[in-house]
Structure 1
Amino acid sequence: MRKLFGTDGVRGTANTHPMTAEMALRIGAAVGRYFRRDASGVHRVVIGKDTRLSGYMLESALTAGLTSTGMNVLLLGPVPTPAVGLMTRSMRADLGVMISASHNPAEDNGIKFFGPDGFKLSDQAEIEIEALINAGVRPAQAQNIGRAKRVDDARFRYGERIKSSLPRDLRLDGLKVVVDCANGAAHRAAPEILWELGADVIPVGTAPDGLNINRGCGSTHPQAAAEQVVAHGAHVGIALDGDADRVIMIDETGTPADGDQLMALLAARWTAEGQLKGGALVATVMSNLGLERFLSARGIGLERTAVGDRYVVERMREGGFNLGGEQSGHIVMSDYATTGDGLMAGLHFLAEMVRSGQPASMLARQFAPVPQLLKNVRYAAGQAPLEMAPVQQAIAEAEAALAGAGRLLIRKSGTEPLIRVMAECEDEALLTRTVDSVVEAVADAVSAPA
């Protein structure tokens, strides 16, 4: 079993296990050895990062670990996570690394890995890498130590790839667009790409200082972009997260639209054009029942997976599907990218505005969502609240109350020490009562004396 890796790489509070320089060096050495099992030839890895202060520390430590096993390191600097997947493939690298904790606050950080095909690693690969971390690896001989160099044009290469996913003659002239970059990895790339396509750009969250990533802005705080859309009379807003792999759209009234609405729009459009492969959309168990009903009415299937964009991608690859994502805003268009790309998804929404002539408020409301309530309960290290009898009893009672009327989903977050309690039900009073009963049981269990 994996102990170090979560649903999206390794993540935690910076300078606290496992996000220490020492552990990053060990991780770098282990993953370098894993991808350099064949010692012949030239081996290279690309490393990108977001704008967190701790990124400097982790970048240096990973570079030391990787070069110690003979890997040559190409440092991309601050770039979106999907750029790392792209550059891993285009630069013929053995491995790609993204240093980011995505939507988490600045004090957190994480390390994500991409294989030579540009896709995130499988659970099995992570298990094998963990074994190498625990066992330790033999460093390369002195004459075989790797080199490191900086790559200065990574975001420009990424920008060209993003634009190539749109029709060549498409322009955004006349569109006033607010783009909130969450003071993160896309703070330069996103405004540049929109401007190059002709949009009138109003940037938000483009002044990172190492400590303000995701703070009161970005996809986790869409009200910041919404306020600017209304204040500037913009046609639409794009709110990215810290590493720009997810997006929340904002219509001209300042109303946010999540990933489910965007996936519904794209699935319907691609079906009409004969572009949707496999006749289905891939989404997680968190996606709204309203999305499922919308797709079913149009003869489109819905494949559900565990939470995590890499599980979505794995199912897409297994089934030959080309569209998938998460309610949180990870949108995966595998014809163009190997992972969720918030900016690319936002651009395709803008392209539909141009094509259809409809306002964002029409396009962002594809279906009426079934009432859904999600609450989180934080727990301490070493606790296992879902294994506690009172919590299990509360969950059983909640499931019985919702039987035939809705659904309940309880899970541990793979990126934070949180228990996520989500329910879906047309009866909002029952919905609230059910979620609160489980949340209260979990909160009581984690606060009780040991």
Structure 2
Amino acid sequence: MSGRAPEGATRATAPFSAHEWLIAWRFLRARRAEGGVSAIVWYALAGIALAVGTLIVVMAVMVGFREEFTSRVLGAEGHVSVYPVTRWENGRAERALRDAGALAARIARIEGVTHVAPVVEAQLLASHGQRNAGVIARGMRLEDLRALPWIARPEAAAGALDDVTGKSVAIGEGVARELGVRVGDELALILPNGLATPFGLAPKQGIFRVAYIFRIGRADVDRTRLYMPLETAQDFFNRGDAADLIEAQVARPHELGSRKAPGALDGAIQAAVGAEGVVWTWKDANGAFLSALDMERATMFMILSMVVLIAALNIVSGLVMLVRNKRRDIGVLRTIGLSQGAVMRVFFLCGAGVGVAGTAIGVALGVLFVIYIDPIFDLVNGALGGGVWDPQVRVLSRFPAELRLWDVSRAAGLALTLSFLVTLGPARRAARLDPVEALRDE
């Protein structure tokens, strides 16, 4: 018995063979007068490109916001704060760490803790000439201030941090602007209820010289923060040798937990502190804001995913029109031996090609927009007369954006998946077209 196929039998070909790609390319390339791709498909390509580009830009901005905010939080304050528990002495509530030096030494011995600083803190009224401003004054040692990256190396600075000694202070740029002071000027600091008199407590006042002005780009710090030497603050705030809190910096701040879900390191710090204080991490202090950013990022991805889906659905309309225009060609191809599967693959390649091209263009546009977001934003800000970005309202002083391969891959993968899925319906419809009916209609 001969193993040869009968003469005239259709020989099966591998899926997505060269001739299927060639036919799909000719269909896409054909002019509209020849029954080629309708304008709807080009709209679909443009829609997918814009949707993917927008999704990449939004995700990059959301990530940039979170990372920039986290960086400035971790660089301007301690990662872990230890606050004293309230004690009652002689009928008065006492909140101070009396043996702060020994407690700080115990915390410093914990593996993973890189720096420990005792801090005294109070709310003061700063005055210069006819101007006044409320400030949060912190007393810290000079070496502890140098350990804060955004204080030692801020966005902009005037004066020298090493000059913050004795009766000299460091202030945020917002405080300096509100008071109208420069480096070398003197300002008066007033501590309410800081001086005991026979008639009760009275305000306590001191004159200090401005030695250092910094801008870290966080409006809540730049507009309110004032630093002075620890010994000077303890004397001015009537703290003696006590501290109001202890701040610790750790090697891996992102591994810290919160009060609801403590991590290993902050748990070890709490064990070292014992009943003397309460541990409060940077996640506790900023958890609500960070959670809101994460929720907003997830929500924006879902919303923009629907935009990508709507753009991909335009491929369906375009392919339906293409199938209608190519009925005669489909009939001829089926008559000369092209199988149903091959016809389906041809039109799948047409729709998928539009999706791939739109996704590639969208990825390029999104990445380029993020890379050049600063000059683009400056151009928009200038065109609108400035004031589009107010740091006092938006906390940060610049418009952040950070590209991540995962986000770009998610956006591209989403667009490609939706494009491939919506293409299956029209492609299957084209494959099921009866060639006899197609040629009879012609």
Q: Same fold (TM over 0.5)?
A: no
In terms of Rg, which structure is larger? 2
Q: Which has the higher contact order (CA 8 A, sep 6+)?
A: 2
- As a proportion of its length, which structure holds more helix? 2
Shorter-chain TM range is under 0.3
